[in-house]
Structure 1
Amino acid sequence: MKPLGDPNEHYWRVQRMAKAVGSDLAAAQTEGRLSDQDWADMVTRCRGCSVTCACSDWLDRAEMDGRTRDSAIPGCENKLVFPKL
């Protein structure tokens, strides 16, 4: 099993990915669509993801061009969660 990555780094990676795909995590929490446990689970899944290096590059490119993406990078452990938020 792959060791989990740094929690702080992946907290911010999930935030960046949500923004890149147009998901508003703060609104989802406020509206009750994202519980504290759901949020923690997202970070934990991200910490164990196998595409983190490619993800960083993908996020850098997404932020540079400023366009909202249709979906997260292939292989993202939270790819199916973001569209629901």
Structure 2
Amino acid sequence: MQALGNPIRHFWLVQDMAQAAGVDLAAARRENRLTVEDWAAMVTRCRGCQWTAGCQHWLDAQPTDEPAAAPPACANRAVFDTLRDRA
């Protein structure tokens, strides 16, 4: 079993991936489309993800002005897709 990654680092990776995917997590929370527990679960999934280095490389390569679907390897891709579709 793999140890979970640093919670602060993964909090920011989730934030950055959401932004790259065109999802505003704070707005989703305010609009009750995302619970605090959902948000915490996203960070925990990210902390356990084996693709962290790939994630950072993918994020670094993304244009800042064009949202893109999160990559298939992202542990939170389905959540980002759902939140973006419900916006």
TM-score bucket of the superposed structures, by smaller chain? over 0.9
- Show the counterpart of 2:2: 2
The reply on whether 1:82 has 2:59 as its aligned counterpart is no
Question: Counterparts of 1:55-74 in structure 2 under 5 Å?
Answer: 55-62=55-62, 65-66=63-64, 67-69=66-68, 71-74=69-72
- Show the counterpart of 1:44: 44
Identity %: 52
Q: Give the drift of 1:74.
A: 2.0
Q: Deviations over 1:19-50 (max 9, x none)?
A: 00101101100000100000000000000001
Q: Deviations over 1:39-74 (max 9, x none)?
A: 000000000001100000000111xx22211x1122
TM-score by length of 1: 0.92
Secondary structure at 1:2 match in 2: coil
TM-score by length of 2: 0.90
Structure 1 stretches of at least 4 aligned residues deviating more than 6 Å after TM superposition: none
Amino acid at match of 2:33: R
What root-mean-square deviation, in Å, do the aligned CA atoms of Structure 1 and Structure 2 show?
0.8
Question: Counterparts of 1:14-53 in structure 2 under 5 Å?
Answer: 14-53=14-53
Unaligned runs of 5+ in 1: none
Secondary structure at 1:38 match in 2: helix
